[in-house]
Amino acid sequence: MTRAVRHAAEKSLEAPHVPFEEFSVKELDYLVRQLEKAKPAGATVEVSAMEDSHHSPCLQEMQAIVVQSVGPEGQPVETYFMYQYCPACKLAVRVL
């Protein structure tokens, strides 16, 4: 793989945050839009409630945002980025 091709492939996997970085997000849609721009070709961004996970300072239910590729039958093939978001505190953290 040539240097230019390798650099293009590496660039496609850049998330807007480093792992375990906590940051404020006014709206979840803003973070989703950032991830839509940063995701690799063919990957999807999915948001779901984390029913058994609560933000320790406020005890509110967290939401998971996952960027992953999906196989032909809808099963996840590769996970690129994973975030947790607290809508009450408006805080997010990249966990993968």
- Chain segment 23-70, per-residue pLDDT in tens: 999 999 999 999 999 999 989 999 999 988 899 999 999 999 999 998
What is the Cα 70 distance to its own chain's centre? Answer: 15
Q: Tell me the C-alpha distance between 39 and 45, whole Å.
A: 8
Q: Please tell me what DSSP assigns to residue 50.
A: E
What b/e string do you get for 22-41 counting C-beta neighbours within 10 Å, with b at 16 or more?
Answer: eeebeebeebbebbeebbbe
Mean pLDDT of the chain: 86
State if pTM tops 0.85. no
Domain boundaries, the chain: 3-94
Q: Tell me the C-alpha distance between 36 and 45, whole Å.
A: 7
Q: Percent of the chain having pLDDT more than 70?
A: 86
